[in-house]
Structure formats: structure tokens, C-alpha cells
């Protein structure tokens, strides 16, 4: 698996201001229907995974379970991150495509 393009594009999404980071921020944005894609780390707890799957299924939002929390965090200049939300539909679609190509 080569996730380099996926992780680079994730960093670009952050720089453009279209990325929401963290459990609480993503949960709030989902309730406002502002998210078009959720990215969960492989390390996220089962309860968190179930909760976000429930939200996204209800709103028909795609979910990617990608990389470990350290790898996601490194791409964003953080130590680690478990939950990310993409607020731009086109960027979310492109990120999904990049993920599918690399896996």
C-alpha cells in the first residue's frame, strides 16, 4: 500500500481550511451537516467507530478507515489524530479516489 498521495492530499485539504480535526469537532460538524467525508484511523476505539458509522449512515456520508493515528497525525503536523472530517465535497471525493487507488 502506498498512501503517500493520500496523505499529501490530506495535508493540502488542511491547508485549504476544509479539514475538521478531532472527535468533538467532527461530531459537531456532522450534526450541522457540514461534512462530506469522514476519515477514521485504524486505531480508533470500537465505540467511536460505531458512533461515527451511525452518524454517517444516517446522512449517507462515506467513511474511510485509513492508516494508524500517528501516520495521519504526521501528515497534518500533529503527533496523532483519530477522527477527521472533510468539509468540501470535491476534495472529499478526490481523497476517496486516492484512497481507493492506493489500496
The hierarchical CATH code for the domain 4-102 is 3.30.1330.30
Question: Where do the structural domains in the chain lie, given as residue ranges?
Answer: 4-102
**pTM tops 0.75, yes or no:** yes
Question: For 40-62, what is each residue's pLDDT tens digit?
Answer: 999 999 999 999 999 999 999 99
Closest CA to 95 of 36, 25, 31: 36
Number of alpha carbons in the 13 Å side-chain half-sphere of residue 59: 20
> What integer is the mean pLDDT of 2-14?
92
Confidence bin at 77 (pLDDT 50/70/90): very high
Instruction: Give the per-residue pLDDT at 68.
Output: 93
As a three-state string, the secondary structure of the chain is: CCCHHHHHHHHHHHHHCCEEECHHHHHHHHHCCCCCEEEEECCCCHHHHHHHHHHHHHHCCCEEEECCHHHHHHHCCCCCCCEEEECCHHHHHHHHHHHHHHC
Instruction: Give the per-residue pLDDT at 103.
Output: 78
Amino acid at each position: 500500500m502506498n498512501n503517500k498521495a493520500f496523505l499529501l492530499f490530506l495535508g493540502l485539504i488542511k491547508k485549504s481550511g476544509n479539514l475538521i480535526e478531532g472527535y468533538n469537532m467532527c461530531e459537531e460538524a456532522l450534526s450541522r451537516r457540514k461534512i462530506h467525508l469522514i476519515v477514521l484511523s485504524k486505531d480508533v476505539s470500537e465505540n467511536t467507530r460505531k458512533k461515527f458509522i451511525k452518524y454517517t449512515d444516517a446522512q449517507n456520508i462515506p467513511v474511510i478507515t485509513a492508516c494508524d493515528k500517528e501516520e495521519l497525525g504526521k501528515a497534518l503536523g500533529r503527533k496523532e489524530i483519530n477522527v477527521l472530517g472533510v468539509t468540501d465535497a470535491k476534495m472529499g471525493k478526490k481523497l476517496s479516489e486516492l484512497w481507493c487507488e492506493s489500496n
